[in-house]
Chains A and B, each alone.
Chain A
Amino acid sequence: MLPPGGSGAAPELMRSAIDLARSGLPSGTGQRTLWRTAPWIVIAAIFVSLLSLLPLAFIIWIAVQTGWETVSALVFRPRVGELLVNTGLLVLLAVPIAIVLSVALAWLTERSDLPGARLWSWLCVAPLAIPAFVHSYAWITMVPRLHGLWAGVLISVIAYFPFLYLTVSAALRRLDPALEDAGAALGLGPWRVFLRVVLPQLRLAICGGSLLVGLHLLAEYGLYVFIRFDTFTTAIVDQFQSTFNGPAANMLAGVLVSCCFVLLGIEVLVRGEERYARVGSGAARSQQRARLGRATIPGLLLLLATTLLALGVPFVTIGRWLVAGGMEVWRFDEIGLALGQTLFLALAGALLATVAAMPMAWISIRAPGPLQRLLESCNYIVGSLPGVVIALALVTITVRIALPLYQTLFTILVAYALMFLPRALVSLRASIAQAPVELERAASSLGRPPLNALWSTTIRLSAPGAAAGMALVALGIMNELTATQMLAPNGTRTLAMAFWSYSGEIDYASAAPYAFIMVAMSLPLTWLLYVQSKRMAGR
């Protein structure tokens, strides 16, 4: 789902998890008590948070080391301006289009009587199972001339709108229908009710989803290489390939990180200190679906078109190449090896990310406070950095400071854990929030030492959430390209790497089996994400 250089999980999902945690159980343990009962957990959480700041600290350190003159020479040059324009236009065009598309699709599938709404809703999420670079590969096969900004906008929207769709549709489901009734009773027609009552309440979801899409656009590499569209990320990889970890690559990374912060900042500004939750108590009545009537056909056409573009094109292309390649392209030894390595890396990375997220998740549920919020935001910030930046940082750090760790399994797994920590954190938080603190206390009162009590109660109970989080992290790792290429140990060849290497030599038929396997393995995990988002919305 999360294509190369993927960033964190949906902020909207994050926030719902956080809301869940805050509204749910009494926090119980204060921060000071926490320190007394479980100092190791606090130390572990602080350690993970500091580790997650490493890439950022590294960029600053490199900039300081390089000296202002070189930095300004490398940053203030026309090429950076070009990249800035490209990247900026891409985000400014793709994100609004994705917003309009996602809101329309979400409304159609969640709030109208469109036939087959449930199926359509799944079809709107399913494109996430296709790595963004496979989308691009499919399009370039269909329309070989496709290139430049508009191609980038088209494929970016297609590859990433499901993130917005997920958050917006979840928010739509959560909306209290009483508000729309109130709007109607106050004299507003259906269209004005949508504009004045529904849309403003989707603001948080739209902000969160847009941020997620925007960060992905900044981090994406493979998608834009296929269609010859240069962004900061592709330029960083170019520099890396030409000069390894030279200052030019690092300075571009610095500018890219600044872009990420600009996006994060814009999101915070637009979101504001809003609270759009249900005011008041009592159960919300279930929502009514609007009658589409004559609008049914255009509605169906929109969904059909989206599905054809986002699922039809990749599936048809992969199928076409598989047929064209015949049995020859199924080099089973090679594919098996790549599959095995990919699965191993994905599972090990997911495990590490989940274990690393556990202390923070536990603290944020059991002892929320300013310290916890500070630590937690560290984790989310690193999750929003492009994979290429994290990889570049780890390359330089290991080469300069910890050479024995360079190009080891350990380092690549640390990179994965850092990149996908937020996904593990969100899932874990939500499930820990459901495990009553009383059980931990009961276990303690029955004589178990704190960590043991924790293990035998909360951690056991949060296993399903941990598993879901692991699946999401695994999904991200499976389709990761840039960091894997830069950090993987000798002899590693993941599915994404093999796909990339074949498609780089225009051997699209040989690349097809890898694309097929990546999509086939991602589909169930995407389904999981879909189900999880439904559950978070209370259905």
Chain B
Amino acid sequence: MSFLEISGLHKHYGPVAALAGVDLSVVSGSRTAIVGPSGCGKTTLLRLIAGFEAPDQGRIALDGEVLANGGNAVPAHRRGIGVVAQDGALFPHLTIGDNIGFGISRGDDKRSERIVELAYIVGLDKAILKRRPHELSGGQQQRVALARAMAMKPRLMLLDEPFSALDTGLRASMRKAVAELLEAAGITTILVTHDQAEALSFASQVAVMREGKFSQVDTPRELYLRPRDRMIAEFLGDAIILPAKISGGFANSPLGRIPVDTADNRDVARIMLRPEQIALKRTSREGMSGTPDMLFGEVTESEFGGSMCMIAVRLLNSADPPDAAAIGNTPLVLRKPGMDAPAVGEIVRLTVLGKAHVFA
């Protein structure tokens, strides 16, 4: 049963449509990520859910209770929805302890106990409670913000790009820690981010947003491997997109005959492969002879980048003559482990792993 139900949400700022009909349902206890480029309306959606603003049209219901129906909206402070903002939005005039305890009534006997407990849950030392927000690192501030939001036992937690201000290394570990923590607490969570890797790794459901609408809502794996269109595909990661003819579960493409994820037959289609689906194996010009059904290429560029290298491969032959010339001129750009990357001028054999995705 869906816990959060959003339907037909519209919001305009003057002539600009921030949301142009958004539908979403979120299962209780799950994690959903809303991802999209900046300005796509994802923050607006979050603000509508939190109750900071009211929609022009549409409906938001949480656990059966209608929170907003058009301009008729329950104000934020009566929604019981936790929010962690981009930079934590800690109250600079309060200590960390008071920040965490902000939502707990002062008359509550167990207030200080709860504060210590919450600090412990988010992995903060008790000693920190007397300090002020500006004395904390970015990661610590986010933990405080999370603890503060959790203090009021929210039904739903909204995370507004909470990791974007953190260093790359810290970001991944924070993300993992937060995900586990919310999971353990059983709190339904919505994360808004512009970072597709973050969205894919964090959530069980990812909604891709563009120009005020969801273009696709799916599990991370489905989204990555079976995006609805080229833009989604490229937004979620590098993609190799090729023309192909589809028949009998296979595509005839410039990379040869590749199994596809559809049984339909089509004469003109576009297929997508993720670069990691193409394996390279070193060989030499001599090794190419006598193997017409195999695919070879020459490394034209190799850019060292530490753990991963960018490698450009120009195809030397093609199984599908009509497009061979075109393919020969545009090299495939692949990302390969840096340890054993082929050097410029080396000849490699290309093999496609798994199935290609056919765009509808």
Any A–B CB pair closer than 8 Å: yes
Chain A residues near B (Cβ < 8 Å): 176, 178-179, 181-190, 193, 196-197, 200-201, 203, 274-282, 288
36-87 of chain B: CB within 8 A of chain A: 47, 50-53, 75-83, 85-87
List of A residues within 8 angstroms of B85 by Cβ: 178, 181-182
Asked whether, in the complex, the Cβ of B93 is within 8 Å of the Cβ of A276, the reply is: yes
Known: A181-B52, A182-B83, A280-B141. A275 touches B152 (CB 8 A): no
Known: A187-B152, A279-B92, A279-B141. A181 touches B165 (CB 8 A): no
Is B148 part of the binding interface, using a Cβ–Cβ cutoff of 8 Å? yes
Partner of A186, one of B51, B141, B152: B152
Is B226 part of the binding interface, using a Cβ–Cβ cutoff of 8 Å? no
Partner of A197, one of B76, B91, B145, B152: B91
List of A residues within 8 angstroms of B212 by Cβ: none
Asked whether, in the complex, the Cβ of B77 is within 8 Å of the Cβ of A187, the reply is: yes
Known: A184-B76, A185-B82. A201 touches B93 (CB 8 A): yes
Asked whether, in the complex, the Cβ of A281 is within 8 Å of the Cβ of B82, the reply is: no
List of A residues within 8 angstroms of B141 by Cβ: 279-280
Is B103 part of the binding interface, using a Cβ–Cβ cutoff of 8 Å? yes
Asked whether, in the complex, the Cβ of A279 is within 8 Å of the Cβ of B88, the reply is: yes
Asked whether, in the complex, the Cβ of A281 is within 8 Å of the Cβ of B102, the reply is: no
Apart from A178-B85, A185-B82, A190-B77, list 14 A-B contacts with CB within 8 A: A182-B148, A184-B50, A185-B76, A186-B152, A188-B77, A189-B77, A200-B91, A200-B93, A203-B93, A278-B92, A280-B87, A280-B138, A281-B87, A282-B87
Asked whether, in the complex, the Cβ of A281 is within 8 Å of the Cβ of B165, the reply is: yes
Is B334 part of the binding interface, using a Cβ–Cβ cutoff of 8 Å? no
List of B residues within 8 angstroms of A281 by Cβ: 87, 138, 165
Asked whether, in the complex, the Cβ of A279 is within 8 Å of the Cβ of B87, the reply is: yes
Instruction: Give CA–CA (A237, B301) in the complex, Å.
Output: 86
For A277, the closest partner residue in chain B by CB is: B92
Residue contacts A-B, CB under 8 angstroms, 16 given? A178-B85, A181-B76, A184-B77, A186-B102, A186-B151, A190-B77, A196-B102, A200-B94, A201-B91, A274-B92, A277-B92, A279-B133, A280-B88, A280-B90, A281-B165, A282-B164
B335-355 to A contact mask, C-beta < 8 Å, 1/0? 000000000000000000000
Asked whether, in the complex, the Cβ of A183 is within 8 Å of the Cβ of B102, the reply is: yes
Asked whether, in the complex, the Cβ of B87 is within 8 Å of the Cβ of A185, the reply is: no
Asked whether, in the complex, the Cβ of B83 is within 8 Å of the Cβ of A181, the reply is: yes
List of A residues within 8 angstroms of B192 by Cβ: none
B155-186 to A contact mask, C-beta < 8 Å, 1/0? 00000000011000000000000000000000
Minimum Cβ distance to chain A for residue B168 (Å): 15
List of B residues within 8 angstroms of A274 by Cβ: 92-93
125-151 of chain B: CB within 8 A of chain A: 132-134, 138, 141, 145, 148-149, 151
Asked whether, in the complex, the Cβ of A185 is within 8 Å of the Cβ of B86, the reply is: no
Instruction: Give CA–CA (A444, B154) in the complex, Å.
Output: 61
List of A residues within 8 angstroms of B89 by Cβ: 176, 178-179, 181-182, 280
List of A residues within 8 angstroms of B152 by Cβ: 186-187
Minimum Cβ distance to chain B for residue A252 (Å): 39
For B94, the closest partner residue in chain A by CB is: A200
For A280, the closest partner residue in chain B by CB is: B87
List of A residues within 8 angstroms of B47 by Cβ: 181
List of B residues within 8 angstroms of A279 by Cβ: 87-88, 90, 92, 133-134, 141
Asked whether, in the complex, the Cβ of B92 is within 8 Å of the Cβ of A275, the reply is: yes
List of A residues within 8 angstroms of B82 by Cβ: 185
Asked whether, in the complex, the Cβ of A178 is within 8 Å of the Cβ of B86, the reply is: yes
Asked whether, in the complex, the Cβ of B76 is within 8 Å of the Cβ of A275, the reply is: no
Asked whether, in the complex, the Cβ of B77 is within 8 Å of the Cβ of A275, the reply is: no
Asked whether, in the complex, the Cβ of B93 is within 8 Å of the Cβ of A185, the reply is: no
List of A residues within 8 angstroms of B50 by Cβ: 181, 184-185
Asked whether, in the complex, the Cβ of A185 is within 8 Å of the Cβ of B133, the reply is: no
Known: A281-B165, A282-B86. A184 touches B91 (CB 8 A): no
Minimum Cβ distance to chain B for residue A157 (Å): 27
Which 10 residue pairs are nearest across A and B when measured between Cβ atoms? A280-B87, A186-B103, A184-B76, A178-B89, A185-B83, A200-B93, A182-B89, A279-B133, A178-B85, A184-B77
Pick from A178, A179, A187 the residue with the most CB of B within 10 Å: A187
List of B residues within 8 angstroms of A181 by Cβ: 47, 50, 52, 76, 83, 85, 89
For B82, the closest partner residue in chain A by CB is: A185
Known: A178-B85, A185-B149. A288 touches B53 (CB 8 A): yes
List of B residues within 8 angstroms of A197 by Cβ: 91
Instruction: Give CA–CA (A286, B80) in the complex, Å.
Output: 24
For B151, the closest partner residue in chain A by CB is: A186
Asked whether, in the complex, the Cβ of A184 is within 8 Å of the Cβ of B51, the reply is: yes
List of B residues within 8 angstroms of A275 by Cβ: 92, 132, 134
Pick from A181, A197, A282 the residue with the most CB of B within 10 Å: A181
Known: A186-B148, A188-B77. A280 touches B165 (CB 8 A): yes
For A182, the closest partner residue in chain B by CB is: B89
Minimum Cβ distance to chain B for residue A486 (Å): 44
Minimum Cβ distance to chain A for residue B198 (Å): 16
Instruction: Give CA–CA (A178, B50) in the complex, Å.
Output: 12
Instruction: Give CA–CA (A270, B88) in the complex, Å.
Output: 27
For B80, the closest partner residue in chain A by CB is: A187
List of B residues within 8 angstroms of A200 by Cβ: 91, 93-94
List of A residues within 8 angstroms of B94 by Cβ: 200
Partner of A179, one of B76, B91, B164: B91
For A204, the closest partner residue in chain B by CB is: B93
Asked whether, in the complex, the Cβ of B75 is within 8 Å of the Cβ of A282, the reply is: no
Minimum Cβ distance to chain B for residue A425 (Å): 27
Minimum Cβ distance to chain B for residue A289 (Å): 12
Instruction: Give CA–CA (A186, B52) in the complex, Å.
Output: 12
For A192, the closest partner residue in chain B by CB is: B77
Minimum Cβ distance to chain B for residue A200 (Å): 4
237-273 of chain B: CB within 8 A of chain A: none
Instruction: Give CA–CA (A179, B87) in the complex, Å.
Output: 10
Instruction: Give CA–CA (A186, B151) in the complex, Å.
Output: 9
For B158, the closest partner residue in chain A by CB is: A185
B7-48 to A contact mask, C-beta < 8 Å, 1/0? 000000000000000000000000000000000000000010
Pick from A179, A185, A187, A278 the residue with the most CB of B within 10 Å: A185
Instruction: Give CA–CA (A185, B52) in the complex, Å.
Output: 8
List of A residues within 8 angstroms of B133 by Cβ: 279
Minimum Cβ distance to chain A for residue B107 (Å): 14
List of B residues within 8 angstroms of A203 by Cβ: 93
Minimum Cβ distance to chain B for residue A284 (Å): 9
Asked whether, in the complex, the Cβ of B103 is within 8 Å of the Cβ of A187, the reply is: yes
For B83, the closest partner residue in chain A by CB is: A185
List of A residues within 8 angstroms of B75 by Cβ: 184, 189-190
Instruction: Give CA–CA (A288, B165) in the complex, Å.
Output: 24
List of B residues within 8 angstroms of A182 by Cβ: 83, 85, 89, 91, 145, 148
Asked whether, in the complex, the Cβ of A282 is within 8 Å of the Cβ of B165, the reply is: yes
List of A residues within 8 angstroms of B81 by Cβ: 185
List of A residues within 8 angstroms of B138 by Cβ: 280-281
Minimum Cβ distance to chain A for residue B82 (Å): 6
List of B residues within 8 angstroms of A189 by Cβ: 75, 77
List of A residues within 8 angstroms of B102 by Cβ: 183, 186, 196
For B93, the closest partner residue in chain A by CB is: A200
List of B residues within 8 angstroms of A184 by Cβ: 50-52, 75-77
